[in-house]
Structure 1
Amino acid sequence: MGRRPLIRRETVARAAVDIVDEDGPAALSLERIASRLGVKAPSLYNHFADKTEIVEEAARTIVLETPEHADVVDGDWIGWLVEGAIAFRGALLAHARSVPLVVENFPQRLLERLYAQHCRVLHDHGVPVTDQMFIVEAVHRMTIGSAMCAATGRPAMSTPIDPDQFDVGVVESLASNDWDDDRLFVESVRTFLHGVRARWGR
């Protein structure tokens, strides 16, 4: 019988994710991954062409942690998209220090497969074909952007440094602290989707 391999692609990718989660993308190296797995760095080339391929697999690992998307309920495709976006954003923010890595190395084939699935669902619920990809791409970008802001410490707008530049009502609204990152994201996506649907006049 052949010897059981000491490492597998998934364990290498998981080790890379763990390293970035702990110490940030700059800490990721073949030597660091190999040390964590108890092997020599050259042995990683038995499974990956180079470090870039490891990073891409790490990004894929994080994306695949997004919980399964439930079916549309009562034709509410807007609610379905919002819930899916919340789940994806949550998966990203569970690895906040890795979010830039995912954004820069998003697995293209996986993205295309997810986009195709979403377009089919939208088609089944009467969304015009001309708007399907626009909607899916826009929601994806809003999700990525929100996750990047939250992950890199750019919080939702709070009380301004110079309140004299704003209407008093705006300042009071911000002072209420109603607009945290989570609510800002959800309401932004929901408002966008309702706006798109309103264009159709139905």
Structure 2
Amino acid sequence: MGRKPMIQRETVARAAVAIVDEDGPTSLSLERIATRLGVKAPSLYNHFADKTEILEEAARTIVLETPEHGDVVDGDWIEWLVDGAIAFRGVLLDHAQSVPLVVENFPRRLLERLYARHCRVLRDNGVPVADQMFIVETVHRMTIGSAMCAATGRPAMSAPMDPDQFDADVVASLASGEWDDDRLFVESVRTFLHGVRARAGQAATTTERGR
């Protein structure tokens, strides 16, 4: 039996993720990855064309930690999408310092496969084709955006620095802490999806009336 290679693509990717998780994206270098693996930096080029390819593999590694998405239950594609978005956002926040890395280096082929699967699920549950990519892309962007805000420490709907600029009721609402990052994200996604479904239903009704 041949010897197992000292370096594997997955090993390099996980080393890169660990470095960014610990010290942020600016800390990542080929030399630091090599040191962590106990090899010389040039040997990494036996497995990757350049640093960009390492970053893409690191992003892919994080994305694939997202738990397997089950089937739609009772035709409720909205909650299916909400649950999937919550799971993906959770993985991103498990690697909070790596969120910019994922955003900037999300492998295009992987993203397209995920989008295609979501579009098929929406199609199978009666979502109009004109809305499918709009829904998938918007939920993806909402998830990434929410993760970026949470990862960088920007609190959701926190008490204002200058309360005199707001109505007293608004200040009291914000001070209650009722709207944290998690709730704001879930309710934003759910409200958007219900709005799209309602719009599609209205359009279908209008079409029927016009016949």
Q: Is TM > 0.5 for Structure 1 vs Structure 2?
A: yes
Aligned twin of 1:32 = 32
Structure 1 residue 120 displacement after superposition: 0.4
Between the aligned partners of 2:164 and 2:43, the Cα distance in structure 1 is 61
CA distance in 1, matches of 2:197, 2:142: 17
Question: Does the alignment pair 1:79 with 2:79?
Answer: yes
- Give, in angstroms, the shift of residue 169 of structure 1: 1.6
What is the identity, as a one-letter code, of the residue corresponding to 1:165? Q
Give the Å deviation of 1:3.
3.7
**CA shift for structure 1 position 2:** 4.1
Partner-residue secondary structure (3-state), 1:200: helix
- Give 2:20's aligned residue: 20
Q: Percent identity?
A: 86
- Runs (4+) of structure 1 moved beyond 4 Å? none
1:149 corresponding residue in structure 2 = 149
Structure 1 residue 47 and structure 2 residue 47: aligned? yes
Query: Structure 1 counterpart of 2:155, which letter?
Result: P
Query: Which residue of structure 1 lines up, in the alignment, with residue 63 of structure 2?
Result: 63
Deviation at 1:163, TM superposition (A): 1.4
1:176 is aligned to 176
Q: Deviations over 1:15-72 (max 9, x none)?
A: 0000000111111111111111111111101000111110110000000000000110
Letter paired with 1:179: W
Distance (whole Å) between structure 2 residues aligned to residue 50 and residue 201 of structure 1: 49
Which residue does 2:91 correspond to in 1? 91
Return the alpha-carbon distance in structure 2 between the equivalents of residues 190 and 168 of structure 1: 28
- Alignment partner of 1:126 is 2:129: no
Q: Does 1:5 align with 2:5?
A: yes
Aligned equivalent of 2:185: 185
What is the RMSD computed on CA atoms of the aligned residues? 1.0
**In 2, distance between residues paired with 1:10 and 1:142?**
29
Q: Give ranges in structure 1 of 5+ residues lacking alignment.
A: none
SS in 2 for 1:199: helix
Provide TM-score, normalisation by structure 1.
Answer: 0.98
Task: Tell me which residue corresponds to 2:136.
Answer: 136
Q: Deviations over 1:76-117 (max 9, x none)?
A: 100000000000000101000000010000111000000000
For the residue of structure 1 that corresponds to 2:201, the secondary structure is coil
CA–CA separation in structure 2 for the residues paired with 1:125 and 1:166:
43
Return the alpha-carbon distance in structure 1 between the equivalents of residues 166 and 21 of structure 2: 39
Superposed CA offset, 1:111-163 (max 9, x none): 00000000000001110000000000000000000000001111102111111
Aligned to 1:112: 112
- CA shift, 1:178, in A, is 0.5
Report the number of matched residues. 202
Query: What's the secondary structure of 1:201's corresponding residue?
Result: helix
TM-score (norm 2): 0.93
Q: Distance in 1 between matches of 2:158 and 2:138?
A: 25
